[in-house]
């Protein structure tokens, strides 16, 4: 899961501070401060290197390059990059942790029906395989969802 291109996602810049509930129907890149909760069901969250999040996160995929304190529920994948500092519990299907990342918390790899858990180590070697969970995947954006 790569960092999304600028034009394809909502962006919270590093000078921005948000307190409250964030929900959205598109990918979100956070390089500022967020306190509250983040719900991007079916979409991806990227915490940029300057990002500081104190919130529970619900998303399809999560990439952490900055700081995140809160529980992460990702239906597909969580990536901790080498500059990540993450404190909280993680529930997901796949986890990738780069050398140098700091993580404190629980990792719970769910086993959906008819799929195998997949795990990718820092070296880039994928372990096992898996197809997307039945019923979860790209979603038609809900146009009336509150956006950032």
Binding-site member from 46, 62, 96, 130 for another protein (CB under 8 A): 96
Contact flag: residue 141 with another protein (CB under 8 A): no
Cβ atoms 119, 95 nearer than 8 A = yes
Contact flag: residue 49 with another protein (CB under 8 A): yes
How far from each other are the two terminal CA atoms of the chain, in whole angstroms?
Answer: 22
Contact flag: residue 122 with another protein (CB under 8 A): yes
Rounded to whole angstroms, the Cα distance separating 79 from 57 reads: 13
Tokens of 31: 């390089």
Cβ atoms 28, 45 nearer than 8 A = yes
Query: Interior CA angle at 17 toward 86 and 98, to 5°?
Result: 25
Contact flag: residue 87 with another protein (CB under 8 A): yes
CB of 15 to another protein, least distance (A): 13
Using DSSP's 3-state secondary structure scheme, residue 59 falls into strand
Binding-site member from 102, 131, 139, 145 for another protein (CB under 8 A): 102
String of contacts with another protein for each residue 54-73, x by CB under 8 A? x-----------xx-x----
Note the residues at the interface with another protein (CB under 8 A): 33, 49-50, 52, 54, 66-67, 69, 80, 82-83, 85, 87-88, 95-97, 99-109, 111, 117, 119, 121-122, 127-128
């Amino acid at each position: 899961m790569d960092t999304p291109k600028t034009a394809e996602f909502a962006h919270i810049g590093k000078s921005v501070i948000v307190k409250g509930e964030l929900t959205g129907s598109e990918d979100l890149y956070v390089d500022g401060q967020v306190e509250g909760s983040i719900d991007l069901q079916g979409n991806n969250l990227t915490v940029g290197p300057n990002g500081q999040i104190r919130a529970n996160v619900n998303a399809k995929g999560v990439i952490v390059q900055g700081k995140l304190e809160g529980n992460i529920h990702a239906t597909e994948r969580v990536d901790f990059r080498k500059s990540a500092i993450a404190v909280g519990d993680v529930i997901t299907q796949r986890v990738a942790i780069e050398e140098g990342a700091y993580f404190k918390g629980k990792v719970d790899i769910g086993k959906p029906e008819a799929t195998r858990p997949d795990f990718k180590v820092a070296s880039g070697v994928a372990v096992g395989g898996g197809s997307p969970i039945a019923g979860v995947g790209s979603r038609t954006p809900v146009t009336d969802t509150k956006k950032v």
